[in-house]
């Protein structure tokens, strides 16, 4: 007679001893005896049934000793061929048929017996809320029943699956927090099910604990390699199963909380970037969000290039228009300029009314900061055509802007208090930029000598002017910026004021604006030539370059007409007729109307 094969296929496709299958078949009903006896023993102990509890413990101990004996059976004995057929033995005495242990039916659907009901009624242990939804997958009905009942007694919601395909269908149809998956199952093994699930759910999203026999070590290694979170060995020690399940569920909940907090942080960061990204460069926002040092108060000394821009005559204009119109003018202007500054990798320190303070070189320093700031200034002046085109379409006043660019050592960082702070810049060179900007006229960019030295040959410069700035001991050299070469290739259009002779000349009352205060002294003056943006002014006293003036037109009788015209002296050197070139910075509408009428009359 041929001997049976020594080996049978293992779950991973390799050979496994035939004796292992026999031991597995013997262990299954014994494990069920242990599980049910432990479950009943817990209920008996909780109900105070000490004698019953002791007997149930003895049953479990006897079953464990039987398992130890089964584990000692050598493979050659467990797989021995059947003995030759003998003569038929006399039939045993008749007895009631009893199904095999693996096929023992569950209690009927009519419910448990009176003793079990009484025992359960005596249990006073409070059941906690559900700790999660678990899926128990095992092809043995008693194993599923025993494990699911014990887990439910610990507050878990438990769903069972009788085979691998049933488990996969359940995973597709509903959400589970953890799966307890038997390795040895027909058709689809536990490893097959694990592979399919891991194609959709990660280890963190759906923990899986494999249940394996003691001699399935290779299967355990393969399961862990394929993405199992943990494993338990049969016979299942329920406290171990419970501890490992709770550990995996705790890890899952922790990962979900981390993910939730990360999502909240990402939403917060997106909001901050959306809000502050309109004012700060991306580097500043990233530093504030990503590094602990980014939010600390304090600063550092470093060299930066400062850009300060301001509208000419905005205050007077604001008094003549409605608040809604003023805000529309500001929003279009500030929005256009902010985009250009950020596009040139500058940081908007703040908006001060109609003024913009930007820095280049903080928080990130680049070798071309000075040249890039100048290129940004040119681009901003060129963009004023777009701003004024919008204003004309909307029936709003046209505006002009002056820009100063200065380079020097400043203190830069988070400035303020713990409750309210900003990333900003302070120092002497910030003040100097403000002084230089005060000397600009509309459509002009003035750059300091320090900026010219840093930017190098990239700059195309016009006239150099030296002036004495308030608060500074030494004279200040500034240059009229014409353009920036290199990759920026930006150039301001030449200023051609087209001054026309006025016939007759217009008489004006001239007052010098000193700082923010108007001088009490008024001198007579004459506008010799003019356009709608500039004029030559003859006065009986010298005026320095960049002096700010208020001009008031006078009638033939010497009376002052309504309205003010503000201008800035471009050059302190008079022309052949003794006139100084001045450019208008702001004018009331009635003054401009009178000037246009005078120009029209002179042209006839």
Most confident of 61-65, 76-80, 257-261, 412-416: 257-261
Question: How deeply is 439 buried, as exposed, middle or buried, from its count of CB atoms within 10 A (0-12, 13-18, 19+)?
Answer: buried
* Complete DSSP assignment for 510-555: EEEEETTEEEEEEEEEEEEEE-SSEEEEE-SS---TT-EEEEEEB-
- Helix, strand, or coil here: 110? coil
Cα(213)–Cα(349) distance, integer angstroms: 69
Cα(215)–Cα(280) distance, integer angstroms: 64
Cα(67)–Cα(23) distance, integer angstroms: 9
Cα(345)–Cα(368) distance, integer angstroms: 11
Residue 19: what pLDDT? 54
Residue ranges of the domains in the chain?
25-78+127-250, 297-491, 500-603
Across the range 258-270, mean pLDDT stands at 82
Residue 278: what pLDDT? 57
Residue 20: what pLDDT? 58
Q: What percent of the chain has pLDDT over 90?
A: 40
User: Which tens digits make up the pLDDT trace of 209-229?
Assistant: 999 876 567 888 999 999 999
Most confident of 105-114, 370-379, 393-402, 437-446: 370-379
Q: Predicted confidence band at 380 (pLDDT cuts at 50, 70, 90)?
A: very high
Cα(174)–Cα(165) distance, integer angstroms: 15
| Mean pLDDT (the chain, rounded) | 81
Most confident of 20-34, 243-257, 293-307: 243-257
Phi/psi of residue 15, nearest 5 degrees: -85, 140
Which tokens in the block code for residue 576? 């052949």
User: Which tens digits make up the pLDDT trace of 150-182?
Assistant: 899 889 999 999 999 999 999 999 999 999 999
CATH class name, domain 25-78+127-250: alpha beta
pLDDT at 353 over 70: yes
- Helix, strand, or coil here: 381? helix
CB contact at 8 A, 523 and 540:
yes
CATH number of the structural domain 297-491 = 3.30.70.1230
Cα(205)–Cα(32) distance, integer angstroms: 31
Q: 208 vs 86, 179, 180, 197, 202, CA distance in Å?
A: 50, 5, 6, 9, 10
CATH number of the structural domain 500-603 = 2.40.10.220
Q: Predicted confidence band at 21 (pLDDT cuts at 50, 70, 90)?
A: low
Pairing assessment for the beta strands 298-312 and 400-416 based on DSSP bridges: antiparallel
Residue 6: what pLDDT? 44
Cβ-proximal residues to 221 (8 Å cutoff; 6+ apart), any chain: none
CB contact at 8 A, 128 and 155:
yes
Q: Give the containing element (helix H, strand E) for 461.
A: strand 459-467
Bridge partners, 436 (sequence order): none
Residue 287: what pLDDT? 66
For 33-47, 352-366, 448-462, 527-541, which range has the lowest pLDDT when averaged over its residues? 33-47
pLDDT at 107 over 60: no
Residue 177: what pLDDT? 95
Residue 519: what pLDDT? 74
CB contact at 8 A, 344 and 431:
no
Closest CA to 603 of 529, 531, 500, 507: 500
pLDDT at 5 over 70: no
pLDDT at 200 over 80: yes
pLDDT at 360 over 90: yes
Q: 59 vs 308, 367, 376, CA distance in Å?
A: 90, 84, 88
Give the CA diameter of the chain.
152
User: Which tens digits make up the pLDDT trace of 496-547?
Assistant: 778 999 999 999 999 988 766 677 788 999 999 999 889 999 999 888 888 8
pLDDT at 231 over 90: yes
Question: How deeply is 103 buried, as exposed, middle or buried, from its count of CB atoms within 10 A (0-12, 13-18, 19+)?
Answer: exposed
Across the range 468-493, mean pLDDT stands at 89
More confident position, 457 or 61? 457
pTM higher than 0.75, yes or no? Answer: no
pLDDT at 146 over 90: no
User: Which tens digits make up the pLDDT trace of 125-139?
Assistant: 333 344 789 999 999
Closest CA to 444 of 567, 312, 264, 282: 312
CB contact at 8 A, 492 and 592:
no
* Complete DSSP assignment for 420-434: SEEEEEESHHHHHHH
């Amino acid at each position: 007679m041929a001997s049976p094969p020594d080996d049978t296929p293992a779950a991973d496709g390799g050979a496994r001893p035939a004796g292992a299958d026999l031991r597995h078949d013997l262990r299954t009903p014994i494990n069920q005896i242990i599980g049910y006896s432990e479950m009943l023993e817990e209920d008996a102990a909780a109900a105070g049934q000490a004698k019953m509890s002791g007997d149930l413990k003895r049953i479990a101990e006897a079953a464990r000793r039987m398992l130890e004996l089964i584990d000692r059976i050598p493979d050659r004995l467990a797989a021995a061929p059947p003995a030759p057929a003998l003569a038929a033995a006399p039939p045993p005495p008749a007895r009631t048929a009893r199904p095999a242990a693996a096929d023992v039916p569950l209690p009927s659907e009519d419910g448990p017996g009176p003793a079990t009901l009484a025992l359960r009624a005596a249990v006073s242990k409070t059941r906690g809320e559900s700790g999660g939804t678990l899926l128990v997958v095992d092809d043995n009905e008693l194993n599923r029943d025993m494990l699911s009942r014990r887990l439910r007694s610990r507050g878990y919601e438990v769903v069972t699956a009788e085979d691998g395909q049933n488990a996969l269908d359940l995973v597709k149809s509903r959400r589970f927090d953890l799966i307890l998956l038997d390795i040895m199952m027909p058709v689809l093994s536990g490893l097959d099910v694990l592979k399919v699930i891991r194609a959709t759910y990660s280890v963190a999203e759906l923990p899986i604990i494999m249940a394996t026999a003691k001699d399935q070590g290779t299967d355990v290694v393969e399961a862990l390699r394929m993405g199992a979170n943990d494993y338990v060995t049969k016979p299942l020690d329920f406290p171990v199963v419970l501890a490992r399940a709770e550990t995996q569920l705790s890890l899952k909940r922790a990962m979900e909380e981390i993910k939730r907090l990360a999502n909240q942080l990402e939403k917060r960061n997106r909001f901050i970037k959306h809000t502050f990204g309109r004012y700060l460069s991306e580097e500043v926002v990233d530093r504030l969000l990503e590094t602990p040092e980014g939010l600390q108060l304090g600063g550092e000394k470093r060299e930066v290039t400062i850009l300060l821009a301001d509208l000419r005559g905005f205050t007077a204009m604001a008094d003549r228009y409605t608040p809604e119109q003023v805000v529309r003018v500001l929003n279009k202007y500030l929005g256009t300029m902010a985009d250009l500054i950020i596009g040139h990798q500058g940081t908007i320190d703040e908006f001060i009314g109609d003024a913009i303070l930007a820095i280049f070189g903080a928080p990130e320093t680049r070798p071309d900061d000075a040249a890039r700031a100048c290129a940004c200034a040119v681009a901003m002046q060129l963009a004023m055509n777009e701003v004024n085109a919008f204003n004309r379409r909307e029936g709003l006043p046209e505006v002009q802007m002056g820009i100063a660019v200065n380079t020097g050592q400043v203190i830069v960082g988070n400035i303020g208090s713990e409750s309210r702070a900003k990333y900003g810049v302070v120092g002497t060179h910030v003040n100097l930029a403000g002084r230089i900007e005060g000397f600009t006229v509309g459509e002009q960019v003035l750059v300091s000598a320090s900026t010219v030295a840093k930017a190098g040959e990239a700059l195309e410069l016009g006239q150099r002017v030296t002036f004495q700035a308030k608060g500074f001991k030494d004279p200040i050299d500034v240059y009229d910026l014409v353009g920036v070469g290199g990759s920026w290739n930006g150039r301001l259009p030449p200023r051609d004021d087209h001054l026309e002779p006025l016939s007759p000349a217009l008489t004006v009352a001239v007052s010098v604006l000193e700082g923010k205060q108007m001088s009490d002294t008024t001198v007579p003056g004459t506008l010799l030539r003019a356009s709608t943006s500039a004029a030559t002014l003859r006065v009986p006293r010298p005026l320095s370059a960049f002096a700010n003036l208020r001009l008031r037109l006078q009638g033939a009788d010497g009376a002052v007409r309504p309205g003010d015209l503000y201008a800035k002296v471009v050059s302190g050197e008079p022309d052949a007729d003794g006139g100084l070139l001045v450019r208008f910075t702001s004018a009331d509408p009635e003054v401009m109307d009178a000037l246009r009428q005078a120009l029209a009359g002179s042209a006839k």
